[in-house]
Structure 1
Amino acid sequence: MANTPQSKKRARQNEARFEVNKARRSRIRTYLRKVEEAIASGNAEAAKTALLEAQPELARGVSKGVLHKNTASRKMSRLTSRVKALNA
């Protein structure tokens, strides 16, 4: 347990950051799920639209420190290739 004033403040800050980051992760997962559902339904146009909406969210997650750069890049790459395959 935190004892010093500084460690108590850090604990409060960590809790606040955790809540913000949790909301960001949830938001990113929602956008990714929309892409997955559009791909599963076979609707190429909806999948493309959902992907275009998800990409900035992934990039924002990277800039805010919620996701690692390579993780977001990998997810974008895999989703993009699946959406392209849907069009073919």
Structure 2
Amino acid sequence: MANIKSAIKRIDTNETKRALNQSKKSEMRTAIKQVEKFVEANDVENAKAALKETVKKIDKVVQKGIIHRNNGERQKARLAKKVNNLGA
């Protein structure tokens, strides 16, 4: 355990940020699963609406630096492909 005051503060700060990042990442994953659930059920309208919200969440997580930009782009592309194949 750290003895220096600044090191103790860093540990607390890092723990707080880790918890926030974890919750944002979890929200994003839940949103992705929601879109995939609508795709499985062939529910085009709800899938498109959920995709729009999910893309916003993914973009926000990328902007905060929680996941890498390429990872976010890949997730969005895969979801969009699944939703677009429903309409075809």
TM superposition score category, shorter chain reference: over 0.9
Aligned to 2:43: 43
Q: 1:30 and 1:43 mapped to 2: Cα distance?
A: 18
4+ runs deviating over 2 angstroms:
none
Aligned residues: 88
Give CA deviations for 1:32-74 in whole Å, capped at 9, x if unaligned: 1110100011111111111011001000001111111000000
Name the Cα RMSD after superposition. 0.8
User: Which 5+ residue runs of structure 1 have no aligned equivalent?
Assistant: none
Aligned to 2:18: 18
User: Which 5+ residue runs of structure 2 have no aligned equivalent?
Assistant: none
Identity %: 34
Aligned to 1:73: 73
Aligned to 2:9: 9
Aligned to 1:86: 86
Letter in 2 for 1:77: A
Q: What TM-score do the two structures reach when normalised by structure 1?
A: 0.95
Aligned to 1:28: 28
Give CA deviations for 1:1-43 in whole Å, capped at 9, x if unaligned: 2121111010000111011111101111111111010001111
Q: What TM-score do the two structures reach when normalised by structure 2?
A: 0.95
